[in-house]
Amino acid sequence: MFRNLLHEISGIDMYKIFSLVVFTAFFLLITIWLFSAKKEYIDEMSKKPLE
């Protein structure tokens, strides 16, 4: 069935590297956003459950 669609793929190691790159990029993106977020916004958000 559909597992036979592709028979070969070169360099399966690519998957590990791809995963690492994707995660690192993702992680950096969020970290940058967090550091650039305004303090008032963060403070306001953290008080939401107590309103």
| Residues at the interface with another protein (CB under 8 A) | 1-9, 12-13, 15-16, 18-20, 22-23, 26-27, 30-31, 33-34, 36-38, 41-50
As measured in angstroms, the least distance from the Cβ of 25 to another protein is: 11
As measured in angstroms, the least distance from the Cβ of 18 to another protein is: 7
**Residue 4 Cα distances to 10, 40, 49, angstroms:** 16, 55, 52
As measured in angstroms, the least distance from the Cβ of 39 to another protein is: 10
For residues 11 and 44, give the distance between their C-alpha atoms in angstroms, rounded to a whole number.
Answer: 48
- Six-digit token string for 12: 């399966």
